[in-house]
Structure 1
């Protein structure tokens, strides 16, 4: 049955069903604490890919394009077709976000699916089957964690602000923001950002060169949960560019977001000359 953009209940149910099916396909090759059973090789540039990534990508493309044939397609594991630049509706997918974690038996990986309209995410799901967690959102209809409404909590520095991301950025934030508690880096970028939405983190940072498929689903979940995702200059990510990459990204609760941006910007200001 064709998917309707005007039926949020139908859209949410479809995304959940599709992500869960994809998660099951990936889990068939996942072994917690052990190397994956899937064949693994290096892509151009050196990043790893497994046969599970490819299988999940194909499954998602079949399901998603059948439900919405008019939509364009952008996925980490599919050769990019720049025809997407002229399409109003588009699926943006990372079949396994955190492939290194998946391949090594670390459960912190996810299936990420976003639906874009006019280059803005309007629906998304970040499904982490090995953690038993699903984060979903539809624009204007809120965010959920495992089906329960979710709102980014507000914590003070006195309670301890949990932050995660690249070590250099965390150190800069810690120097400028009191009460921060740096956490171990979370290998799946989609999860690192999304954890801000449920309060597992107060701040998640991504180094430059993240792609649309890494962040689009997290973006709509964060927004609907009351958190904020921007680039380091404070601007919202611009999607569906010819090269779909981004600068440093900051996901945070509202009370911490401005402080984090100021801390990151401080590193760019030249020091006094002598």
Structure 2
């Protein structure tokens, strides 16, 4: 079998990955009711978060299909019990079968299917497929990022004071306080919170949002695919000290984060540190 870490092999995977994501979407879409409650059966996981039969169907399908494409890769998914074998593997699939389950439940189109392939803890392939919204984001490390096949990049906005910001209100307010203390006249445009965290980050990548705030307890599967898309578009997901996010740790849970262009990172980190 060809070396699954080689760049050419990764590029060769892309058509099969696109097909897999689109087929996975056909499993979920019959249960989605735009503007209404899902037709899927729903139950609660430990901790109270919802899961639907669509989540399980997509997860099961992708585990089989992606494992066939790269048998060497371990697996980490929101809907599959974590297997610590992944910690000893160079390659790992990171999957969220439906990111934004509550949006899916309520008929809001901003949910997505997110898939990343990691090598040595870093994403080398990222897909965020939003079938209800009609958007396909993808990236290969070193090859740029696209939306619906067209290249994307972060916003070229230079004034943090007029940035379009989305995320939890307490984080939004702290950023505003800090901006004021650093002498920035804050007139942030508050963008409605995007239910799918992967889509929130992807919309920073395509320039529709300037700063995406992420509350604590996000998981690898929420972030890894969209993080690569953002990296390839000129930004990154980092903590609020500016440290880039890493993946496939023993506990795949993150603290507060920000998705931002490289040009805004220092200003956002500086404002955040002053806003407490």
TM-score (norm 1): 0.93
Aligned 1:195-206 pairs, distance under 5 A: 195-206=203-214
1:249 aligned partner:
257
1:6 aligned partner:
7
Q: Secondary structure at the match of 2:248?
A: coil
Distance 1:2 1:77, change over 3 A: farther
The separation in 2 between residues aligned to 1:183 and 1:84, in whole angstroms, is 37
Structure 1 segments of 4+ aligned residues over 2 angstroms from their partners: 1-9, 156-160
Residues 8-44 of structure 1 show CA distances to partners (whole Å, capped at 9, x for unaligned) of 4322222221111111211111010010100001100
1:102 aligned partner:
104
1:43 aligned partner:
45
Residues 104-158 of structure 1 show CA distances to partners (whole Å, capped at 9, x for unaligned) of 1000000000000001101110000000001100001110110011111211439
Q: Cα offset for 1:3?
A: 8.5
Q: Secondary structure at the match of 2:146?
A: strand
Unaligned runs of 5+ in 2: none
Residues 155-183 of structure 1 show CA distances to partners (whole Å, capped at 9, x for unaligned) of 14399421100101111222315331111
Q: Secondary structure at the match of 1:28?
A: helix
The separation in 2 between residues aligned to 1:25 and 1:87, in whole angstroms, is 29
2:187 aligned partner:
179
CA contact (8 A) 1:3 1:67 kept: no
2:193 aligned with 1:192: no
CA contact (8 A) 1:71 1:90 kept: yes
2:18 aligned with 1:19: no
1:143 to 142, 145, 153: 145
2:241 aligned with 1:240: no
Q: Secondary structure at the match of 2:93?
A: strand
2:115 aligned partner:
113
Distance 1:259 1:11, change over 3 A: same
Q: Secondary structure at the match of 2:118?
A: strand
Distance 1:267 1:147, change over 3 A: same
Q: Cα offset for 1:207?
A: 0.5
Q: Secondary structure at the match of 2:272?
A: helix
The separation in 1 between residues aligned to 2:71 and 2:262, in whole angstroms, is 37
Unaligned runs of 5+ in 1: 269-274
Q: CA RMSD in A?
A: 1.7
The separation in 1 between residues aligned to 2:3 and 2:66, in whole angstroms, is 9
Q: Secondary structure at the match of 1:114?
A: strand
Distance 1:65 1:2, change over 3 A: farther
Q: Across the two proteins, how many residue pairs are aligned to each other?
A: 268
Distance 1:241 1:31, change over 3 A: same
Aligned 1:47-86 pairs, distance under 5 A: 47-86=49-88
Q: Secondary structure at the match of 1:205?
A: strand
Q: Secondary structure at the match of 1:46?
A: coil
The separation in 2 between residues aligned to 1:2 and 1:106, in whole angstroms, is 41
1:218 to 222, 226, 230: 226
Comparing 67-76 with 158-167, which one deviates more in the overlay?
158-167
